[in-house]
Structure formats: structure tokens, C-alpha cells
């Protein structure tokens, strides 16, 4: 085997990982730049949240459809389409001259991400076997968590050193280069014959409407509260739409989500772990951003750089998880990670009103990063271990949906707890109670994780049919 042939599989992983890193980065990279964006484009304060919400809604709502399209139309083809849409809409975001233009471009970015992400993960899962798959999936898990941390850091750097436009424009040359490399280094993937490409249009529309409504309802709880008429109505509507989706899937000949998907215990367990782990990570980022900027008066650049230890800890733990998975299995890695998250959140809950970064915050940041860096690779290895090749795109879409819903749920839950705890402008009290809740959730998840199936890399055999 030539050196080129030997290196090619890792080139595939590198290309797909960079693309996914951009997608995850764009969930959080905008956070630190929001004040600058609002001033430059004259956003109404109530509308500024839509710069983030439009992206999350369209990504989370369309991921299942993107995964099934990858199975039906070919993974590389759908990956390329998503990459091109994401790159073009990044350019449009950076050049936007009005709030409406930016929000529309961000929605298009979300749709591109919903095509790109499940196609990329299904290529990763189908390309690698055995020890290589363990490395590939742990790398993917690190990206899912590390990209969110890096987004906070890069957002502060780009906003301070260049301008808010570069938060989006930085994606353009990277996306264009990845598209060229994809055409040359990733083989076109087979797709079913034309007569077998049946699209479940009613199911796709119901899933899209239900997930968008659910994410929208969760995103709004920070401003409107969990008991508001708006929140209850939206969550009830989402439940009705998703119940209708389940009913349709049981009756159609070629469902968007085949019933056998829910009878795959490892996939559903991995998705649940992904949802919970991402909820804790993104909710913690929100609390820390609020505390650093509003309570401690940190600048956007200082806030972004403050998240560097979390990103480093996540990367280290994800590398370590590759070795631990072979020895203790995915359940043991998940248990250790969740225990570390609980410990980190508990430490952050003790931070005083005028905390010192090095002594009061940094130890909690490191524990939190180490924990998440173990949990998300374990979730990926658990979920993708016994998925059929024909369902790889759908399973990847389900995992990506769990990631997006977890982000929305964690932000909604922890921000609502923090906001309800603030009295007379005492932000530290809200911060502390938010992390008390995060520690409690992580502790409950640790107990629940005892029931997880435990996968070792040699067990994880991807069935090719």
C-alpha cells in the first residue's frame, strides 16, 4: 500500500472534521459578537436573539431530513450540497446590511448545516472500522464539544481584532477549500436505485414543523418563562406535531424514520447521552458568559480567552477517551465524564460575587471540560455501534438532532433558573443557582448512566449490507 493510500482515510476524517467544526463553531461564535452586530446593523434589542435562534431553529428542525437525504441521494453529494449552502450563506451573513438580511442568511446557514452534518457523520461511520472507527468517533465527539468552546474564544478574538463580519467571513475560504478537497479525496457514495428512492414528504414536513416548534419554544423560555401561555402553547403544538409524525411513520411504506430505529437500544441510549451532555455544556457556557461580562466586567476578548482552558481540557479528555474506551467501555467513560461535569459545576456554584478567575473559576472550567470531553465521544461510540449501513445517514441525523435539542434545552433551562434567582441585580446569585442545577442534573445523569450499554471499540462493528 502506498503512502497516499495509507493516509487517505485520515484525510477524509480531517476534511469532514473541519467542516463539522465550522458548523458547531457557528452555534456559539456569534455570542460574543452580538453587541457589535446589534450596534452596526441597528437591531432592536428584542430582535437580536434571532441571529442565533434562526440558525439553531433551521439546523435542529431539518437534521432528520438531511440524514435521510444522505441515505437516498448519496452521502458525498449531500455533504457537498450542504457545504456549499453553508459557505455561500456565511458570505451573505458577513455582507448583510440589515437585520432582516442577516437573519435570513443565518437561517440558510442552518439549512446548510442540517445537510452537511448527518452526511459527514455517516461517511465517517461507514468509512472506518475497528480501531480506526474508535479514533474517528472520539475525534467527532471532541469536535461536538470543543467547537462550542472554541466558538466563544474565536468570537471574542475576531470581534476585537478585526470586526464582527469576520465571525462569518472566516468560513468562506475554508468552505471553498474543503469543497475542492472533497471532490478529489472523498469517493462518491452509492445510493439506492431510482425506483427505491421514496421520500416520506408528509413525515418530513411534520418532523420539520415539530422540531422547529420545539426548539423555538425552548429558546424562548429565558425571556417568557416556562409557565407562560406562549411556552405552554408552543410545547403543546410541538408534542402534537411530533405525535402526528410518529403516527404517519407507522403507516407509510418508506418512512423517514423507520420504526426499527427506536428498537436500537444503543442508538437511543447514545442519543440521550448526547442530548444531556450538550445541554450541560451549552447551558454552562451561557452562565459563564453572563457572569464574566455582566458580573465581572470582562471584555469580549477576555471572555473569549477565558474559555481556552475548557477547549484544551476537552481536547485532552477526548484523546484520553480513545484509550479508555478500549479498557473500560463507553459506559465507564460516560460515568467518569458525568461525575467530572457534576464536580466542575459544583465548584462553579461556589464562586463568590467578585470571583478570581484563577482560583474560583479555572478549576471548575477544567473539570467541566474534562468531563464533557469524555461524555460526548462515549455517546457517539455507543450510538453508532450497530446501525445498518442503509440507515447511517438517518442515525447521524438523530445524533445531530439530539445535539441541537440539547443545546436549546440546556440554554433554556439553566438560563431560566439563573434569571429567576437574580434579586436586586445580584447576578452572582443567579450564576450560583444555575450551576447548582447543572451539578444536580449531571449527578442524576451519572446515576442513570449505570444502565447504559457498554461498548468497546472491537465490539462496535458497523454492519455493511
Q: Contact 79/189 with Cβ under 8 angstroms? A: no
Q: Provide the H-helix boundaries in 74-98.
A: 75-95
Please answer whether residues 414 and 434 qualify as being in contact, where contact means their C-beta atoms are separated by less than 8 angstroms: yes
Contact between 433 and 359 under an 8 Å Cβ cutoff? The reply is no
Q: Which residues of the chain have pLDDT under 50?
A: 1-8, 459-465
Q: What is the pLDDT of residue 201?
A: 79
d(CA 402, CA 118): 12
Q: Chain-centre distance of CA 370, in angstroms? A: 17
Q: Which pLDDT does position 53 carry in this prediction?
A: 76
Backbone φ/ψ region at 225: left (φ over 0), alpha (ψ -120 to 50), beta: left
Tens-place pLDDT, residues 68-121: 888 888 889 999 999 999 999 999 999 999 999 999 999 999 999 999 988 888
> What is the model's pTM?
0.76
Cα separation, 283 vs 267, in Å, equals: 24
Listed in sequence order, the residues at least 6 apart from 403 whose beta carbon sits closer than 8 Å to its beta carbon are 144, 274, 275, 278
Q: Is the dihedral of CA 357, 359, 363, 368 positive or negative?
A: negative
User: Distance between the two ends of the chain, CA-based, in angstroms?
Assistant: 26
The grid coordinates listed for 225 are 418563562
pLDDT of residue 390: 65
Residue carrying C-alpha cell 467542516: 19
Contact between residue 99 and residue 443 where contact means Cβ atoms under 8 Å apart: no
* Nearest CA-CA partner of 99 in 54, 162, 52, 44: 44
Please tell us whether the domain made up of 8-187+199-451 is placed in CATH 1.20.1250.20.
yes
Cα separation of 381 and 125, whole Å? 10
Looking at residue 424, its pLDDT comes to 63
d(CA 375, CA 274): 8
Under a CB-based contact definition with an 8 Å cutoff, are residues 377 and 137 in contact? Answer: yes
**The predicted structure's pLDDT at residue 144:** 64
In angstroms, the CA 320 to CA 338 distance is 15
Amino acid at each position: 500500500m502506498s503512502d497516499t493510500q495509507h493516509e487517505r482515510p485520515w484525510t477524509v476524517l480531517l476534511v469532514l472534521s473541519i467542516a463539522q467544526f465550522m458548523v458547531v463553531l457557528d452555534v456559539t461564535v456569534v455570542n460574543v459578537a452580538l453587541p457589535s452586530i446589534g450596534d452596526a446593523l441597528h437591531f432592536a434589542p428584542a430582535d437580536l436573539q434571532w441571529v442565533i435562534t434562526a440558525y439553531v431553529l433551521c439546523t435542529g428542525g431539518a437534521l432528520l431530513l438531511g440524514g435521510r437525504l444522505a441515505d437516498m441521494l448519496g452521502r458525498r453529494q449531500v455533504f457537498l450540497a450542504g457545504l456549499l449552502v453553508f459557505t455561500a450563506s456565511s458570505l451573505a451573513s458577513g455582507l448583510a446590511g440589515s437585520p432582516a438580511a442577516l437573519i435570513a442568511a443565518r437561517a440558510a446557514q442552518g439549512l446548510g448545516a442540517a445537510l452537511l452534518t448527518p452526511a459527514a457523520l455517516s461517511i465517517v461511520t461507514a468509512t472506518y472500522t475497528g480501531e480506526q472507527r474508535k479514533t474517528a468517533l472520539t475525534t467527532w465527539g471532541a469536535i461536538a464539544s470543543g467547537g462550542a468552546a472554541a466558538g466563544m474564544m474565536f468570537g471574542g478574538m475576531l470581534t476585537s481584532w478585526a470586526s464582527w463580519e469576520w465571525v462569518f467571513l472566516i468560513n468562506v475560504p475554508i468552505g471553498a477549500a474543503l469543497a475542492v478537497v472533497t471532490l478529489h479525496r472523498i469517493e462518491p457514495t452509492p445510493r439506492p436505485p431510482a425506483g427505491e428512492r421514496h421520500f416520506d414528504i408528509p413525515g418530513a414536513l411534520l418532523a420539520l414543523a415539530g422540531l422547529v416548534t420545539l426548539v423555538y419554544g425552548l429558546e424562548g423560555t429565558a425571556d417568557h418563562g416556562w409557565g407562560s401561555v406562549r411556552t405552554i402553547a408552543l410545547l403543546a403544538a410541538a408534542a402534537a406535531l411530533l405525535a402526528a409524525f410518529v403516527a404517519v411513520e407507522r403507516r407509510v411504506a418508506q418512512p423517514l424514520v423507520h420504526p426499527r430505529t427506536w428498537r436500537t437500544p444503543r442508538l437511543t441510549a447514545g442519543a440521550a447521552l448526547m442530548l444531556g451532555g450538550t445541554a450541560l455544556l451549552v447551558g454552562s457556557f451561557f452562565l459563564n458568559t453572563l457572569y464574566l461580562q455582566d458580573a465581572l466586567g470582562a471584555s469580549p476578548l477576555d471572555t473569549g480567552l477565558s474559555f481556552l482552558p475548557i477547549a484544551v481540557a476537552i481536547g485532552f479528555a477526548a484523546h484520553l477517551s480513545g484509550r479508555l474506551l478500549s479498557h473500560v467501555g463507553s459506559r465507564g467513560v460516560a460515568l467518569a465524564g458525568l461525575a467530572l461535569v457534576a464536580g466542575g459545576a459544583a465548584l462553579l456554584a461556589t464562586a463568590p460575587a467578585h470571583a478570581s478567575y484563577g482560583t474560583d473559576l479555572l478549576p471548575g472550567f477544567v473539570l467541566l471540560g474534562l468531563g464533557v470531553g469524555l461524555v460526548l465521544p462515549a455517546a457517539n461510540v455507543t450510538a453508532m455501534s450497530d446501525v445498518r449501513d442503509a440507515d447511517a445517514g438517518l442515525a447521524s441525523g438523530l445524533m445531530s438532532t439530539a445535539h441541537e435539542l440539547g443545546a436549546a434545552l440546556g440554554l433554556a433551562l439553566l438560563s431560566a433558573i439563573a434569571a429567576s434567582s437574580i434579586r436586586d441585580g445580584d447576578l452572582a446569585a443567579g450564576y450560583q443557582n444555575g450551576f447548582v442545577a447543572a451539578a444536580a442534573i449531571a449527578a442524576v445523569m451519572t446515576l442513570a448512566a449505570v444502565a447504559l450499554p457498554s461498548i468497546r471499540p472491537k465490539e462496535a462493528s458497523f454492519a455493511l449490507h
